[in-house]
Amino acid sequence: MEENREEEVTILSRFSTILFDLDDTLFDFSACWEKGMQQTIAIHALTTDLDGAELLAALRRHGDDLWVDVIAKKYDFTQYRQLRLQRAMADFNRTIAVEEADDFQRTYQAACLEAVQPDPAVQAVIAKLAEEHKLGIVTNGPVDMAFIKLERLGLSAYFPQERVVISELLGYHKPDPRIYAAAQERFGVASSEVLFVGDTWEADVAGAIDAGFSAVWLNPRGKKATSAHQPLAVIERLEQLPAYL
């Protein structure tokens, strides 16, 4: 066991660059999404009289279904948000206009971002890693929320705009190999020098490994791998990462 540990440390210490996923990696976005949606459903004129738990489940279900089409570039993030709510409302026999969906989104976004709070443990990890590594972010997300999240997390100084690769700006999403290539080019490093850290198997582990990176899987809920890819480590909390470096 000690031999394996020493080998892991030797392998991981070679990385000059560490790239992170953002949502559910640097903070618990799922909890913020749920809190923001619950609050919005409870106060917004479109939804205040509906069963909040049922609507939340519908939003989650339709969001998951539509995400496949976002990855395939059938819809952009604005259309995704509109259709997610329209289809969820259709489950309650209600039809809403895109303008109404946009107003709901604005209310939700404010509530969600309010729920994003700095985590001293994560801040300490990032500060420590920044001493010896170049740090960056590669996220499947919209531009309008990414930098506000980082500011609210107290991480903007470690991830300035030039170090944040956002799928909406590039036009393709993880696990598309082009997004990892764009990140590698931006940082000017060999793929062998890059460690990718994230919570999603397909996007942050399998996709990164296929692009020539190494990966650490942040897996707090004990999910099962869906392919034969081999991450260098599996951790439950981001605070465990420096122990491998």
Question: What integer pLDDT is reported at residue 7 of this predicted model?
Answer: 47
Cβ–Cβ < 8 Å for 72, 101: no
pLDDT band at 244 (very low <50, low <70, confident <90, very high): confident
Question: What integer pLDDT is reported at residue 14 of this predicted model?
Answer: 82
Question: What integer pLDDT is reported at residue 245 of this predicted model?
Answer: 79
Tell me the C-alpha to C-alpha distance, in Å, between residue 196 and each of 73, 134, 212, 229: 24, 12, 10, 13
Residue 10: pLDDT above 50? Answer: no
Question: What integer pLDDT is reported at residue 13 of this predicted model?
Answer: 59
Residue 12: pLDDT above 70? Answer: no
Residue 105: pLDDT above 90? Answer: yes
146-201: per-residue pLDDT in tens? 999 999 999 999 999 999 999 999 999 999 999 999 999 999 999 999 999 999 99
Question: What integer pLDDT is reported at residue 157 of this predicted model?
Answer: 97
33-77: per-residue pLDDT in tens? 999 999 999 999 999 999 999 999 999 999 999 999 999 999 999
Percent pLDDT > 70 in the chain is 95
Q: Is the pTM of this model over 0.75?
A: yes
Cβ–Cβ < 8 Å for 234, 21: no
Mean of pLDDT over the chain: 94
Tell me the C-alpha to C-alpha distance, in Å, between residue 1 and each of 6, 8, 27, 87: 9, 11, 31, 52
